[in-house]
Amino acid sequence: MTAEAAAPRASRLAAESGEPRALRSRRLLIDALLALLAERPLADLTVAELCRRAGVNRATFYGHWADQRALASEAFTELVDRLAEVPTDELGGLGDPEAAGRYQDSLRGQLQYVAEHRTTFRALFGSDADAGFRRSLTDALARRADLAVRVWIDRGVAPADTPPEFVRYLAGGLVAVLAGWADGEDDDVDATARRIQQLLPAWWPRQDG
């Protein structure tokens, strides 16, 4: 195994274990990507450019990702995942429609972010070599969906025997919707979020009660 082939594992494991230097270089490269994407499309960016902007060397880059598309795939998966977060400890004192509103707000945030970065999302969703973007995004949103379903089961709203496959079904559907949203030109976030709400199971509380 070459040093270049071994480096990705070493750097990634270092970052995942919380090693400060690895985390810092990772953050610098993600920030460089986001800054450069404000100037031109993902397809026009090179690893050398990203490294110059971040102030790191190419070995450091390849210690984390195989190429710039893999970096974008991971960075944008994390951002959409973060937007999907609804802290369950904030839902305790809310009624079901209010709690449903929190999930609807997170959906609006995801739609808005995709709309603001359509060029990049089109590249990630549309490529035959998408660096596992769909799979990674589906996995991340399935984790969020699982937490949401647990909330509704605990409240006695969702059936206790909701099939475990439902969370991936829900996440996969949302990823497909986000891909279509990225590929289109619609910018009415609220109307789109309301339409998606109508696709949820009948037991899912609605924001309007």
What is the pLDDT tens value at each position of the chain, 209 positions in all?
334 444 444 555 555 555 678 889 999 999 999 999 988 899 899 999 999 999 999 999 998 898 999 999 999 999 999 999 998 888 888 899 999 999 999 999 999 999 999 999 998 988 765 558 999 999 999 999 999 999 999 999 999 999 999 999 999 999 999 999 999 999 999 999 999 999 999 999 987 64
Give a yes or no: residue 203 inside a domain.
no
At residue 206, the pLDDT reads 83
Q: Which domain holds residue 22?
A: 3-66
Q: Which of 21, 51, 66 is the last residue of a domain?
A: 66
Same domain? For 9 and 100 the reply is: no
Same domain? For 172 and 80 the reply is: yes
Same domain? For 125 and 39 the reply is: no
Question: Which tokens belong to 178?
Answer: 């986000």
Count how many Cα atoms sit within 13 Å of the Cα of residue 196 in the half-sphere of its side chain.
Answer: 25
Give the single-character DSSP code of 209: -
At residue 166, the pLDDT reads 96
At residue 130, the pLDDT reads 53
Same domain? For 79 and 112 the reply is: yes
Q: Which of 20, 42, 66 is the last residue of a domain?
A: 66
Give a yes or no: residue 204 inside a domain.
no
Interatomic CA distance for residues 114 and 56, integer angstroms:
28
Give the single-character DSSP code of 90: G
Closest to 198 measured CA to CA, from 166, 173, 181: 173
Same domain? For 8 and 83 the reply is: no
Q: Which of 66, 98, 116 is the last residue of a domain?
A: 66
Same domain? For 62 and 90 the reply is: no
Number of domains in the chain: 2
Same domain? For 45 and 81 the reply is: no
Place of tokens 């924001």: 207
Within a 10 A sphere around the Cβ of 191, how many other Cβ atoms?
10
> Is the pTM for the entire model greater than 0.75?
yes
Interatomic CA distance for residues 155 and 153, integer angstroms:
5
